[in-house]
Structure 1
Amino acid sequence: MSKHTGVKTLMCGECGFRTANRSNLSRHIRTHTGEKPYKCDQCDYSTTHKSALNRHMAKHTGNKPYICDECGYRTASRSHLSEHMRTHTGERPYKCDQCDFSASHKGNLKKHKAKHTGNKPYMCDECGYRTADKSYLTRHMRTHTGMKPYKCDQCDYSAARKVSLDHHLTKHTGEKPFMCEQCEYRTTNKYYLSEHMRTHAGEKPYKCDQCDYSASHKGNLDKHMAKHTGEKPYMCDECGYRTADRSHLTRHMRTHTGMKPYKCDQCDYSAAHKVSLDHHLTKHIGEKPFMCEQCEYRTSNRSSLTVHMRTHTGMKPYKCDQCDYSASCKGNLVKHMYKHNGEKPYMCGECGFRTARMSHLTVHIRKHTGEKPYKCDECDYSAAQKFHLDRHVAKHNGE
């Protein structure tokens, strides 16, 4: 009867969670006790929910009986298919009762509601990071432990997040099941498609509650909010560099390790950043689909075109909050801010040289390694810096 009356008579003695369903309470209690009674008989996986075990078993059998009639997407879970269908229908059945926010997934609504209450019950004992979502805390803890529990069964790749592994696996299969109906864009990730669709709609659903900033991506809003709070929970153990963005820390760590995980499949080029590899690949295909309507400038990159257009409009949207400096590129503002705080987060592990710019560190490292990546295609000259190659090439051209 409690389902009809809305009364939630059953309560957790640990945290006050209430429910009308005894089985829901039993499952919830396991979040406190850590009990995972459902065991996989083919590996060491265990879980608190039987439905989660059923989904897991599909990884062993490869069975994906649920198929999307629109695009051919297949999954082992009926609920995943229901969620996927909303990318086609645009349906957002989960409504916030305090604002006009709506979501296609119940979990997204739950996270959103925490913004109204301000409640962040989950805290990291290592650094004080707090969050409204238990799964976020679990992921955050891996930045301290270095744990990467999600393993690829086709290579030695491992990831701290399941979504990263799912994305990686598509490199082996080449599968891109999510397709935009307004252009030819395809992607391996449902979330990427949702973000892409906003480029057509101009939609920016993520609003800052402290200023008029809005964003098309939640990640961008999270980064923006750090400007208000000053919070930088991610720290480099090598040099003390701190950042509000986990991906920035991951990229920063490569300045110490020298790791360049993004490999070109057409030459021996490798890069520390995916955007650098994407830019490099256009040299092989020569494709520059983004064109300026006011001049003959063309580029392989949408963001480069956006920055270029500001040379025509004079727009400088990135403002310094300590002086009247403004910039057309966010990177230029970041570099400028180092002048105020004196911060030099990039350090050479060989000699202790420090700099405010990663590109300066990259060039400096070549003094130790002897690397000269800029090659002349008319002779055997090579250089550590591009402007040296440009100066050399001018000699061939008689300039």
Structure 2
Amino acid sequence: MMEPGNGSPTAVPPNFSGASPTGVVLDKLAGTKTSLDNQPETHTGDKPYMCGECGYRSAWKSKLSIHMRMHTGEKPYKCDQCDYSAAVKSTLDQHIAKHTGEKPYMCEECGYRAARKSTLSKHMRTHTGEKPYKCDQCDYSAARKSSLDSHHTVKHTGEKPYMCDECGYRATRKAHLLDQHLTKHSGEKPYMCDECGYRAAHKSNLYRHMRTHTAHKNTMDSHLTKHTGVEQPVAQVTPFAALGTAFNTLARLESCLHTALAYLSSRTGFPSHQTGQTEAGNGSPTAVLPNVCDESPTGVLSDRDASRFEDKPTGTKSSRPETRTEEKPFMCGECGYRATRRSHLSQHMRTHTGEKPYKCDQCDYSAALKSTLDRHLAIHTGEKPYICDECGHRTISKSKLTTHMRTHTGEKPYTCEECGYRATQKSCMYRHMRTHTGERPYKCDQCDYSAGQKSTLNQHVRKHTGEKPYMCGECGYRATQKSCMYRHMRTHTGERPYKCDQCDYSEGQKSTLNQHVRKHTGEKPYMCGECGYRATQKSCMYRHMRTHTDERPYKCGFRTADRSSLSQHIRIHTGEKPDKCDQCDFSSAQR
């Protein structure tokens, strides 16, 4: 080879010992001349191929051709098992994995498998904690770009581009609209349990349901092994699932122990808490009853085992079906509340700590649960996606719709054990129970008054403030309570919904009807402590009491105990004679 300047077409760098036929040093050898021509763009960053539609640039002509399919809609790669087609072959390969079920990429940490390498890479961040996507407006970071986009939309822009055509509900993500919200209208439940046929609208709900099968099955398999000596097939579980199973097992063993001790206490008279004392003469800290399954790993009775030794008539069977309660391994150290999931316990703890991490970005409201915040946000948006088929009533949550439906069905599932009172809502039952306990947790900060309901306290406070928020649009009358306004409106509409069952009398207020009914019954519940006089109305009793106290509150020089007497007296001054004779011109000040 010749040195530069001596006629050589290609200069060779000094100390070069390679045997390249062209004498060109490259990091990667090219198979063809066109590949060699394109190679420098990978080093220089030059992108000579540009899309005339959107300005996209590429270093490769083939990539530009692929890009152009976005504009033309061309999808030349067809799936031979369905109607799917793709613009890129790699996308078709990923789709075909749905038919074959192939998931060649596996996580070495937990055994999770994925059809795509990119999906596995995202999954690995759950183990490493890596969150490469940072928000440029706050400290939030995410493991996935889609999560960052959602955060940016919800927290900063407030944009909700996806809208439901049925009710106008708007969502920040297409998946939220299509996979979650629309099922409320269609009633579709596409996810089905292969074990029992249970169906769910969301995949996450089905996953939670499946745990009720796997936890019980694994426990039964391990128990059967002790009888048969044959190892049952063991499902591949993650370390987290194994830890959950361990918690469940401990919870069941604890339950079995309490059941056995209670049973022994009832049979032998020994206190159930004396687990360290031995039974008479056997030296065993816990006696095992005869005929108990010898394979029990703890040597104590379960709920089901103990039931076999209850006193029953010979030759009969218990008709009560066996039930299996769901394990609740997570317990609150403050109040003993138990939960099936750690996340539920975390939510419960906020009732003790008062923590409310979910903040409304439109007011000062904050909530302990995200679902509670979502319901609150509907107050701002006015969204009410749940509709009653009976009357068209709309609600912001499914639970409120369920409660509303009871007004049609008459269902009252909550019953008071003290008096048999029934309620449609649990909150109504809590309020009712205070009538028995006498509890009045709501205190007035201006006097000694206390109430069993917050709404009652709010009404009382208006006596101090003079506030009357409810106004009549007909005459300007104002009231402190909505119920008072409803009663007042009947004076304009003439509505008299309360009917007497003994005559044709009707009234706009129930209290007035009760007074009328006393004319039929002769009941006079109000009695004077001075003279024994009895009255049908409290107001009549007040007027009567003035005959004893000589109180005369109505003045005009002339004094009287009754307002009606004062009104009649005033006519002496005004000359008013409202009572007319219908047969002549005579009129009188008094009837």
Return the TM-score normalized by structure 1.
Answer: 0.46
Higher relative contact order (CA 8 A, sep 6+): 1
Return the TM-score normalized by structure 2.
Answer: 0.34
